[in-house]
């Protein structure tokens, strides 16, 4: 069984690019999904638990997802969320915060890369570069046609992300009445430092390699058992 997350046992789509931390988490998720569907492979419980801990340490949220979820991302000049954003990016699906196809893994990585290359936070530049990266490097499940630019909230938006120089505030869009009167956010994720991101990425990659190795061992064992049965 194949997916599209880019590890040795999973097919990658042409043009797809995921952040390192997203790719590693995606690998583990794909293996876990395969286990549930086929019963042939598995992700050990201790590994699954550690993945959730690592996810929370970076994004302050659980590693989970919800399909077909609309989202909008507002890019702000500063931390004053009572002003209108300079731009609003629309994401047609996979708009939930976490999970291998969620918004936060790409958003955190992309904004940090953009800010470092720019030499500081520039809302207009961040908005333009985010849109470009989302479209050109679309991640698990979201087509390049699933993005747009708008100036108002959509009625079917499930999550609203407010990007500021200090981090991302995530709102339940169903509670939003006005862009200049935002309610209390569901949670706020400050921009993690690059060292922490690197450490988490390396551990996730090590965990995924551990699971892939075990999966290959199981496949080899099953192949030997099958050949033994055939020769009897």
pLDDT at 143: 61
**For residue 200, which phi and psi values (nearest 5 degrees)?**
-65, -45
pLDDT at 167: 92
pLDDT at 87: 94
Q: Tens-digit pLDDT profile for the chain (232 aa)?
A: 333 343 333 333 333 455 555 555 555 555 554 444 444 445 666 776 777 777 677 766 655 555 568 999 999 999 999 899 999 999 988 888 875 567 887 788 788 888 888 889 999 999 999 998 888 765 444 566 788 998 888 888 999 999 999 999 999 998 888 888 899 999 888 887 777 777 877 887 788 777 778 778 877 888 888 788 877 6
- Rounded CA separation 139/65 (Å): 14
Enter the DSSP assignment of 209.
H
In this structure, are residues 58 and 197 in contact, taking their beta carbons and an 8 Å threshold? yes
- Rounded CA separation 122/127 (Å): 9
Among the listed residues 104, 110, 108, 152, the one whose alpha carbon sits nearest the alpha carbon of residue 128: 110
75's tokens: 């890019």
pTM of the model: 0.67
**For residue 79, which phi and psi values (nearest 5 degrees)?**
-85, 0
76's tokens: 């702000």
């Amino acid at each position: 069984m194949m997916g599209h997350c880019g590890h040795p046992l999973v097919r990658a789509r042409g043009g797809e690019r995921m952040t390192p931390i997203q790719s590693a988490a995606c690998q583990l998720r794909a293996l876990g999904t395969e286990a549930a569907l086929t019963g042939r492979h598995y992700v050990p419980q201790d590994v699954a638990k550690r993945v959730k801990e690592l996810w929370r340490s970076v994004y302050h949220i659980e590693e989970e997802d919800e399909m077909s979820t609309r989202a909008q991302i507002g890019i702000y000049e500063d931390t004053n969320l009572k002003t209108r954003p300079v731009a609003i990016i629309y994401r047609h699906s996979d708009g939930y915060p976490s999970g291998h196809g969620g918004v936060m893994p790409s958003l955190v990585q992309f904004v940090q890369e953009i800010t470092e290359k720019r030499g500081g936070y520039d809302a207009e530049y961040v908005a333009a570069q985010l849109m470009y990266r989302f479209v050109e490097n679309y991640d698990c499940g979201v087509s390049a046609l699933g993005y747009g630019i708008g100036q108002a909230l959509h009625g079917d938006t499930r999550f609203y992300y407010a990007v500021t120089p200090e981090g991302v505030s995530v709102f339940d869009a169903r509670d939003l009445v006005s862009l200049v009167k935002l309610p209390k956010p569901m949670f706020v994720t400050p921009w993690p430092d690059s060292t922490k991101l690197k450490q988490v990425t390396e551990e996730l990659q090590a965990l995924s390699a551990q699971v892939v190795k075990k999966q290959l061992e199981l496949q080899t064992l099953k192949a030997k058992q099958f050949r033994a049965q055939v020769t009897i």
